[in-house]
Structures are given as C-alpha cells and as structure tokens.
Amino acid sequence: MLDLDKVGLQAPDLDVVAGVDAPDTPAVAGARDTVGRMNEPHAAPDSAPPVPGAPGAPGAAPGAAVPASRAPAAELLAPTAIAQRAASAPKTRHWLPAAAARGLALFIGVFTLSNVVGSWHGETLVFNVWWIAVPLTGWVTSAVLLATVGVAFVAYAVAPRMRPWRRWTTLALFAFFAAVAVYNAVDFYLVWRAGDIAPRVPLPFSLVVALLLGFVTWAAARAPAPRRRRWAAAAVLVCVTAVCVVLFPLAQVLFFGTTDYRRAAPIAVVFGAQVHENGAPSTSLRDRMVTAVDLYKDRLVKKIIVSGGVGDSGYNEALVMRDMAVKAGVRKEDIIVDSSGVNTEATVRNSIPFFGAERSPRVLAVSQFYHLPRIKLAYQREGVEALTVPAGTSTPIKETPYLVAREVPAFWVYYLRAIFG
C-alpha cells in the first residue's frame, strides 16, 4: 500500500483531488491563495491604487500616454540629450546689448568701407588710420582686407543670425582687428617713449577701439536676441549709430587733436584767426604764432607760412601774423604771407605750391587742438602728410565748448569731401 506521508501528501489533499468537499485547513487555504495570485494578471501595487482616467487605469481613453516608468529606454534618455544640446548651443543674449553691438558694428562697417573707397584715389590716401592702422605693406592687400571686414561688420549689423561657417569667419575677422587695435595701442606707447609724439591724453584712441571691438566680438559670439523685440532693437541700433556719428569726431578732437606730432619739416603753416577792432590779435591767433615761432627757433622748420583773410575788423590777419613773427625774431625772408586764406580749405590749397615737387611732402600744421582733425583731412585730400601741432594755451577760451561742438559736422563735411573728392 502506498504510504501517503512518504510522498508528501496530506489526507486533506486527497479530498481535493477526489473532488470531496472537505473543509480547508489554514495551510491549504494559503497555498490556494498563492496559486491564484500567480495566475491572475498583474495589478497595481496596493500603495498606489489606479487613478480613474489615468493611463492604464480602468476607463482610460484609448491611446493614452504610457507612464514614464514603462517608456522605452530611448525616450528616457531624451531629456539628457536635450540638456546636452542646450549646454553646447550659444547662449541667447539680452536684446539691448545685442542691438547696441549691432549699431556699433554698422558704424564701423560703413566707415571702413568709405575709407576703402577713398583709398582707391591714390596710395597715399590712407583714411583708415583714423580708427585703426593695419600693419601691412601693400595698400591693395590692406584695402581688400579692410573691405572684407567692413562687409562683415555691416552683414552682422543687418543679419545677426548666421550659419556656423559665417559665424566663425566673422568672429575671426573681429578678433583679428581687435588684436590689431591692441597692437596700435602698444605702438602708441613705444612712439611716445621714443619722443616722436607728445600726447596730452595718456591713453590712445586705439585702446578704446580695441575695447569696442572686443564688445562686438563678444556679442557676435552669442545667439541672436529674440525676434519679438525686433522694432525695439532696430530703434536702439539706429540710436547707437547716430551716437557714434557724434562721438567719433569728438574722440578725434580729444585724442588726435591734443597730441603734438612736431618733428623736422621744411615748412610750418599757421592758420589765421580773429583780429580785434583795435588791431590786437585774439588769444587764439597769439597762441598759434607763439607755437610757430618756437618751431622756427628750435630749427624744426626753415620757413613759416602765415595764412588768413580780412576779417570783420577790417584788418588783414596774414599781415598781422607776419608782424608778430618778425617782432618775435623770425627773419622776414623766411615768412610767406597768404592773404587769401579765408578758410581752412583755402589755406591748405594756397600753401601746397610752396612745398616743392615732392610726391608726398611733409608740413607742420599749427592751430588749436579742436581744429587739427579737420586740417589733417584737408591735407589728406591733397595727398600731403600734415603733422599737426596744437597751439599752446596762454589763457582759457570761454568759447571752446562751442568751437569743439562746431567741429562735429565740420569733420564729416571735410571727410566726405576727402573720400569722394
């Protein structure tokens, strides 16, 4: 007879197998409950009962999203990939500094292209030195490079959204010119140390240019500003460009006009100024003549051209200037009188025949500091290298703010004449 105890069956189990409806013991009930749970479909954990309407819950809409815990592995990695792309993408800049940088770039680009146009009139007409001096020997190579960077500046100002190849080319050009400006600033201090110039402002304009180019380069390296500020950004761009138009001549007056470039030259040209009704020279005229006489006595020049017209007082400025020079010890035969120098252009034009037949003659131009940038432009137009010498100041002139402000439009008038002839 089969021993049921030896094969591990209990008597109640036989009742179940045989179909006998016997009462369950606790062990049998537990086993039946375990088997039943194994055969049932998976249910949600007891701690998180299904929420009606949620994906996978009874009554959920067909096509509902699958919970993130059951999403494919690629979808789980999507946030990480998005974060990585966001970290590698250029940072979006605020629209205000972005628009300001574009306005500055527009001014630099248009000014640079204008200088290139002016340089095609002759090799000696290098107008780009007003903001940067590219250390290249060939003027054709320099013109091509300046034209390229000018187009890059204008293109960035008009269309700041760039493809990668254009972005990297633009940044390379901007960074290169920023480095050139730094080089010019270093050269300024070397020339100053050698004694070739005597600046009143100890900082070169090239350093300001380098900082501004650095700002534009930084702005161009960032992602464009949001489009929703398009009109506001355009207004800021126009305003910044207009401010540059005003500030640029003032910067030339401050940095270039106050720097003394005196050195040996054949002739010094003194520009006329007001003579009072009693025949006495004005403070400006007296200071100009004192400076010119010093150049003569220091043997930096051999002759002096005094140029002026007949003013409201009825006196001939050139003759008054001649008498002042003779009285100060200049030989009369070393003085050239130009009584037709009624304005700056006339003085420049009348002085050129006395420079000789040199291709690019050198002349020292003497006047007040605010007047010198315009004089430099007038001589540039004629292909003459004018080294400007600011007149000393014996007495402060109360009209100086007005005289400086007047040079802003005058500078651009003379610049456009020099560029377009």
The confidence score (pLDDT) of residue 204 equals 96
Report whether pLDDT(313) > 70. Answer: yes
Confidence of residue 66 (pLDDT cuts 50, 70, 90): very low
Place of tokens 């479909």: 41
Report whether pLDDT(56) > 90. Answer: no
CA separation for the pair 413, 375 (Å, rounded): 12
Q: What H or E segment, with its residue span, contains residue 387?
A: strand 385-390
Q: Is 395 helix (H, G, I), strand (E, B) or coil?
A: coil
Q: Where are the domains of the chain?
A: 95-256, 267-420
Backbone angles phi, psi at 132, to 5 degrees: -160, 150
* Helices 139-158 and 205-220, packing angle to 10 deg: 50
Confidence of residue 135 (pLDDT cuts 50, 70, 90): confident
Report whether pLDDT(406) > 80. Answer: yes
Of 314, 335, 309, the C-alpha closest to 323 is 335
For residue 260, give the DSSP letter.
B
Question: Which residue would you say has higher pLDDT here, 234 or 6?
Answer: 234
Helices and strands per DSSP (H, E), number in the chain: 13, 5
β-sheet bridge partners, residue 72: none
Query: What ranges make up the beta strands (E) of 248-374?
Result: 267-271, 303-307, 335-338, 362-367
Confidence of residue 29 (pLDDT cuts 50, 70, 90): low
**pLDDT tens, 321-340?**
999 999 999 999 999 999 99
CA separation for the pair 205, 390 (Å, rounded): 17
Place of tokens 């100024």: 273
Q: What H or E segment, with its residue span, contains residue 389?
A: strand 385-390
Question: Which residue would you say has higher pLDDT here, 184 or 420?
Answer: 184
Report whether pLDDT(209) > 70. Answer: yes
The confidence score (pLDDT) of residue 231 equals 87
**Average pLDDT taken over every residue of the chain:** 82
Q: Is 166 helix (H, G, I), strand (E, B) or coil?
A: helix
Q: What's the mean pLDDT in 296-320?
A: 94
Check: CB of residue 147 under 8 Å from CB of residue 116.
Answer: yes
Q: What's the mean pLDDT in 89-111?
A: 84
Q: Is CATH 3.20.20.10 correct for 267-420?
A: no
The confidence score (pLDDT) of residue 137 equals 60
Q: What H or E segment, with its residue span, contains residue 303?
A: strand 303-307
pTM above 0.85, yes or no: no
Confidence of residue 73 (pLDDT cuts 50, 70, 90): very low
